[in-house]
């Protein structure tokens, strides 16, 4: 999963990366642009799972197989 940190004081957004990379970028931004202010803001995730997000496709495949089985048993 990728993370992007948003500054709570301005429109700055870190680049997409690991959680620790985004946090380092945000801390550097605050030190450079907002000294003396405690870092805040939001953390955005890209929503992708590490496995590639094939859960919906697997579910759909199971549903199709069940529909075919139900149709073949009904005469």
Distance CA 50, CA 59 (A): 18
DSSP 54: -
What's the pLDDT tens digit per position in 54-64?
A: 668 888 888 89
What average pLDDT does range 15-26 have in this prediction? 93
SS3 (DSSP) at 12: coil
Residues 6+ apart with CB under 8 A from 5: 13, 14, 22, 23, 25, 26, 41, 42, 43, 44
More confidently predicted of 57 and 13: 13
Q: How many CB atoms are located within 10 Å of the residue 7 CB?
A: 20
What average pLDDT does range 63-69 have in this prediction? 88
pLDDT score of 33: 95
């Amino acid at each position: 999963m990728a993370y992007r940190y948003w500054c709570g004081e301005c429109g700055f957004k870190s680049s997409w990366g690991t959680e620790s990379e985004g946090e380092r970028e945000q801390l550097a931004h605050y030190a450079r642009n907002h000294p003396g202010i405690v870092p805040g803001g939001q953390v955005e995730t890209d929503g992708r799972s590490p496995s590639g997000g094939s859960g919906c496709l697997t579910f759909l495949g199971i549903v199709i197989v069940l529909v075919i089985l139900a149709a073949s048993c009904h005469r």
